[in-house]
Amino acid sequence: MTRPEARSSGEAELLLEIGVEELPYQFIGPALTSLRDQTGRLLQEARLRSGSIKTFGTPRRLVLLVEALAAYQTAVTKETMGPSKSVAFDHAGQPTKAAIGFATGQGISIESLQVRHTPKGEYLFAVKQDAGRATKAVLLDLLPQLISKLSFPKAMKWNETGVRFARPVRWLVALFGGTPLPIEAAGIKAGKRTYGHRVLGGEKSIAVRDFDSYKKSLERAGVLVDPAYRRTVIEKQLHQLCAKIGVGLNVDETLLDQAVFTTEWPYAVIGNFRPEYLAVPSEILMTSMKEHQGFFSVRDQNTGQLAPHFIAVANNQLKDMSLIRAGNERVLAARLADAKFFFDEDRKVKLEERVKKLGGITFHQKLGTMAQKLERVQRLVDVIAEQCALSTDVRQACARAAALCKADLLTGIVGEFPELQGVMGGEYAKHDGEPEAVAQAIREQYLPRALEGELPATLAGQVLSLADRFDSIAALFHVGMMPTGSEDPFALRRHATAIVRIVMEGNMRLDLGPVLDRARAAVRNQGFKAAPDAEMQGNRRLAEFLFERVRHYARTLHGLREDIVDAVLRSAFIGTIDLVDLLLKMKALQTVTARPEFDPLIVGFKRASRIVEKEQWDRKPVDPNLFKDAAERELHRHIGSSRQDFDEQMAKGRYDKALDALVRLKPPIDAFFDGVMVNAEDTALRSNRLSLLKEVDDLFKSFADFSRIVVQGG
């Protein structure tokens, strides 16, 4: 046991800078988060109190600032329990080998051991005082460890130390209270000198005293070290430029992050491109600007259409920015010319013709081609459309969209910009003269593209998106490629979340059972080898995978209790598996739990359920002729009347009323347990009473597994 003791000490600022070659912008934000979190954990483990922990970063530096870091570790008293007194000392009061060994192991003398009373009797304790080391000494070990713990999606080695980092480390600054800390990491010895902007700051190093001087000196050397401030600067520049020429900015947070973490001294410049490129769909132009160059696009404020301008955020500010502007315009012109060429060429071949070549594209090495996937998706579209009772027109749109939905994978634009899958399919379908409903469904098939992204707006788009995702999950599970731990290379959890959102937010009354049956059968019928246990576990494993996403959805979006969600989902395999219906049950159940009689009712139910479970009682008909007690008769009568009312309300989807029928069983259940002995000596009597309790258990569990509900005394 360790007990902290108060110790007055000074406080000082810790500043650590890791200077590097230019980092990929995607690495910087996560690295700063990791640096802050790891620092907090290591300081806590090292018993070092501190104020706020902040991180800053640019492409050339990762910076840690710890304010008010204690000058010494917190002093503690460490207490370790050893052997009992009777074992530690013999009858003459002399220490035994057990006591001597314990004292030696703790590094203290026999005389220093203390005897204390415990609930188990008298035991020896070793009590040691740890005053704590000076923080400066602790940091000499801690900071190299902290640097080594930073991980990146990709890392490299560049010198004989063998250290792995995202890019080579070129300098280190480590100051505690203004005093340099002589640490070493990645073959670099830390000092108190940093470097400014590669162009604006020159090659001369800058002496650092503390964070305040560090920040000001870097700003004079062309570095805004705080990414939050750089973001503010960039946003202001973007809006000023838009206002100057009367356009609106197409806001893109990903692009803004890129601009923040690719610059140290951001300066936005506006450029132009030829208006004739506006004949190309705006998605192509915007994607080309974003993916190839990191440019922001703008729109005409009157029409809302794309305007022939772009905004680039440079990492430099020159007196004459015309060269940078002209260079960006020249590079973008070449990119847009390529995009226009692909677009023009793509439209020369209809999607229907491209479908025939999908057999040449691999979906997955264990699951064949995109042509085979398309065949499975088409079958699932039919099942889902039939279940949703869609009109003939919508079903025809679904079927046609399903037949064409993967053809755009063979187009030049999608080959250049994979993120435009679906979008270009919809565009080319429209060009081919397909109905608007078909084109829109193809466009929407990959929605939502992110966890909280936009959902398909049309019924046909919803059906197509669901079919595609159901197939991916069923097919990959079939060959054993399900997610494990944090690994999910095929984004199946995202697919499952999308299914839950589309179904629930679209209020689609869909029975998962037949859909999963058909999805699994389609893969099996194509002859793909199943992974061990894949067929044996059947639909249940797929449904439970989806239920994990339902749990999260119900908790976070609807504020439902964990035990309520669990209770309903555990009984979900009885009958139709309708996600919308399950959510309605959860909401009704959570509402009824607020009633004062609910908790006592569940206590009674759990008692009945435990008895039935303990006896492993199979359902046997209740014989009213064997009743000996009035409480038995009353409970049997109330079960009959409640079941009739319960079944009627369940059939109408009036779950609050159905739960009322269960709540009314509280008095007869209580009376039964108060006046009836279940484990009677008479075997027939005992069996009949167990069957009566089994009826209670079955009735409750036909709504939810109430044994999962957490109640006081339950």
CATH number for the domain that contains residue 551: 1.10.3210
Of 346, 371, 390, which residue is a domain's last?
346
574 backbone dihedrals φ, ψ, rounded to 5°: -85, 105
DSSP string of 632-700?
HHHHHHHHHHHHHHHHHHHHTT-HHHHHHHHHTTHHHHHHHHHH--SS-SSHHHHHHHHHHHHHHHHHH
Per DSSP (E only), the strands in 288-444 are 296-300, 306-314, 362-364, 368-369
At residue 1, the pLDDT reads 53
CATH number for the domain that contains residue 31: 3.30.70.260
Of 130, 155, 177, which residue is a domain's last?
130
Q: How many domains is the chain partitioned into structurally? A: 5
Residues 567 and 501 in one domain: yes
pTM for the model stands at 0.80
At residue 714, the pLDDT reads 47
Residues 573 and 615 in one domain: no
| Contact indicator for 176, 139 with CB cutoff of 8 Å | yes
At residue 536, the pLDDT reads 63
Q: Which residues contact 227 (CB under 8 A, 6 or more apart)?
A: 28, 29, 32, 56, 57, 58, 260, 261
114 backbone dihedrals φ, ψ, rounded to 5°: -115, 145
Residues 58 and 118 in one domain: no
The tokens describing 110, both together, are 């026999």
Residues 144 and 65 in one domain: yes
**DSSP secondary-structure letter at 290?**
I
| Any domain includes 696 | yes
At residue 539, the pLDDT reads 82
| Any domain includes 91 | yes
| Any domain includes 352 | no
CATH number for the domain that contains residue 605: 1.10.730.10
Return averaged pLDDT per consecutive 10 residues of the chain, 714 residues in all: 53 97 96 96 94 97 97 88 90 90 90 88 87 92 94 93 94 96 94 95 91 96 97 97 95 95 97 95 95 94 94 92 93 95 96 96 95 97 94 96 97 95 96 97 94 93 97 94 86 95 94 93 93 75 93 94 94 86 95 88 86 74 88 92 93 93 91 87 87 89 90 58
Whose CA is closest to 477, among 57, 469, 416? 469
Residues 472 and 409 in one domain: yes
At residue 6, the pLDDT reads 43
Gyration radius of the chain over CA positions: 35
Centre a 10 Å sphere on the Cβ of residue 274 and count the other Cβ atoms it contains: 12
Q: Which residues contact 111 (CB under 8 A, 6 or more apart)?
A: none
Name the residue range of residue 650's domain. 595-708
Give the integer Cα–Cα distance in Å for 29 and 31: 5
Residues 529 and 424 in one domain: yes
Q: Is residue 187 left, alpha or beta, with left meaning phi > 0 and alpha meaning psi from -120 to 50?
A: left
Residues 42 and 150 in one domain: yes
Of 520, 548, 580, which residue is a domain's last?
580
At residue 618, the pLDDT reads 65
| Any domain includes 555 | yes
Residues 398 and 453 in one domain: yes
Residues 116 and 143 in one domain: no
Residues 64 and 85 in one domain: no
Residues 320 and 465 in one domain: no
Instruction: Give, in order, the Cα–Cα distances in Å from 76 to each of 40, 46, 142.
Output: 19, 12, 19
- State the Cα angle at 543 between 541 and 548, rounded to 5°: 95
| Any domain includes 518 | yes
Residues 339 and 471 in one domain: no
Longest CA pairwise span in the chain (Å): 105
Whose CA is closest to 312, among 244, 258, 232? 258
| Any domain includes 354 | no
- State the Cα angle at 304 between 301 and 306, rounded to 5°: 100
